[in-house]
């Protein structure tokens, strides 16, 4: 929700006129979050590995919520840009921390569902957040929208602090001791082709994800001339479909694995299928029909949900060990590097061509590259030795 509220703001005339935003500036502003978020993934993962998940995540959540709320008091464009950079700094802990916690608290046969639920939150956030942002913006204004969403989300800290155990480091120590296997140096992970296939595929997946997260509202408003209410509903449908498919795909993959199927083959198959269905988004903008475009927006984002849980769980299956926070940080760096590129490139392609067709073609090309990376590089034979601890 803290990422999506800006996407709604830059689609509104009130916010754009207040800051005199050009299309290029809209892209730059949308990318600001990802500059800090992407480059802090590995340090955030190291922080989670060193101190555990509970306390760093609580502190990060407190700070990013306050920073999001402060956007409501800005008067200059550089202030908004700075606050988005700070938002990325404090939010960097969420994925390395969450994936680390699941690595040490969820069995392999249940991990697809767990990861699916975790990342469904990142899809339901835009779905609910878009609707909430539109309502708050239209009812109170863009300033109040940022303030209410930012401070209101702090209620999450209550259940997190009282319900979550701070035990992942103790579990990690016990697992390493029980395994009796030699440790694989963290640097050796990068001597295997599988990690590069994972990074390419992750970049491709999230290029489309972040294109939709930052530009889908503007695409509906600018290209298809929807009003804010229509845009809010169609954006919500698209991300909701992705969330529900992510949960279902994680659950189905878990059941297939529980019946004896190979975890890597199952999760790899779901990942490739998700990237393939996502590439159909291009058909919508090429059709010239608003109805067809909306249908493919829902289909493509929902289809991407096939990969959501499984491509993250696949990484944990191929590269287990105590450094999962850092390994996840590396993967999430690739993920959010696309968050830098997608909004900037989209903004400039729209400015150059006056259309969203070129940005959609870029999305499709990257998704195809991601499919090829998973097919040829992400294999057990090309990964670090499974079952070894990583230091």
CA proximity to 243, closest of 286, 319, 304: 304
Q: Tell me which DSSP letter residue 93 carries.
A: T
CA proximity to 72, closest of 15, 30, 139, 155: 15
> 261-274: per-residue pLDDT in tens?
999 999 999 999 99
Q: What are the structural domain ranges in the chain?
A: 4-382
- Distance CA(296)–CA(299), nearest Å, equals 5
Give 327 or 70, the one with higher predicted confidence.
70
> 7-63: per-residue pLDDT in tens?
889 888 899 999 998 888 888 888 888 888 888 888 988 898 889 999 999 999 999
**CB of 86 within 8 A of CB of 62?**
no
CA proximity to 326, closest of 64, 67, 124, 45: 45
Q: For residue 184, what is the enclosing H or E element?
A: none
> 205-254: per-residue pLDDT in tens?
999 998 988 888 888 888 888 888 888 788 888 888 888 898 999 999 99
Cβ neighbours of 85 (radius 10 Å): 16
Q: Which CATH architecture has domain 4-382?
A: Up-down Bundle (1.20)
> Distances in Å between the alpha carbon of 247 and those of 15, 240, 308, 371?
35, 11, 9, 21
> 328-338: per-residue pLDDT in tens?
788 888 888 89
For 274, the token pair is 């998700």
Residue 13: Cβ-neighbour burial (10 angstroms; 0-12, 13-18, 19+): exposed
């Amino acid at each position: 929700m803290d990422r999506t509220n800006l996407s709604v703001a830059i689609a509104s005339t009130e916010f754009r006129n207040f800051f005199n935003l050009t299309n290029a500036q809209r892209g730059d502003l949308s990318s600001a979050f990802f500059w800090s978020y992407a480059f802090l993934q590995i340090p955030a993962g190291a922080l989670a590995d060193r101190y555990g998940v509970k306390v760093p995540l609580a502190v990060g959540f407190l700070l990013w919520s306050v920073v999001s709320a402060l956007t409501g008091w800005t008067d200059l464009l550089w202030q908004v840009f700075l606050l988005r950079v700070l938002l990325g700094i404090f939010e960097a802990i969420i994925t390395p921390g969450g994936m680390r916690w699941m690595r040490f608290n969820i069995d392999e046969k249940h991990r697809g569902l767990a990861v699916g639920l975790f990342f469904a939150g990142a899809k339901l956030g835009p779905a609910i957040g878009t609707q909430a942002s539109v309502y708050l913006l239209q009812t109170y204004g863009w300033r109040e929208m940022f303030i209410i969403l930012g401070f209101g989300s702090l209620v999450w800290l209550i259940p997190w602090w009282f319900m979550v155990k701070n035990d992942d480091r103790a579990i990690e120590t016990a697992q390493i001791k029980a395994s009796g296997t030699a440790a694989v140096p963290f640097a050796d992970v990068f001597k295997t082709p599988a990690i590069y296939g994972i990074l390419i595929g992750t970049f491709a997946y999230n290029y489309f994800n972040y294109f939709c997260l930052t530009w889908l509202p503007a695409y509906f408003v600018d290209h298809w001339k929807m009003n804010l209410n229509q845009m809010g509903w169609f954006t919500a449908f698209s991300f909701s479909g992705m969330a529900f498919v992510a949960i279902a795909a994680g659950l189905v993959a878990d059941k297939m694995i529980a019946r004896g199927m190979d975890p890597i083959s199952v999760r790899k198959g779901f990942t490739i299928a998700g990237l393939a269905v996502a590439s159909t988004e291009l058909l919508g903008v090429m059709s010239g029909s608003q109805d067809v475009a909306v249908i493919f927006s829902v289909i493509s984002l929902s289809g991407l949900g096939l990969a959501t849980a499984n491509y993250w769980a696949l990484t944990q299956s191929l590269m287990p060990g105590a450094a999962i926070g850092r390994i996840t940080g590396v993967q999430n760096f690739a993920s959010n590097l696309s968050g830098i590129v997608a909004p900037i490139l989209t903004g400039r392609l729209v400015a150059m061509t006056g259309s969203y067709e070129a940005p959609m073609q870029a999305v499709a090309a990257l998704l195809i590259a991601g499919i090829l990376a998973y097919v040829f590089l992400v294999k057990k034979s090309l990964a670090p030795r499974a079952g070894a601890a990583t230091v």
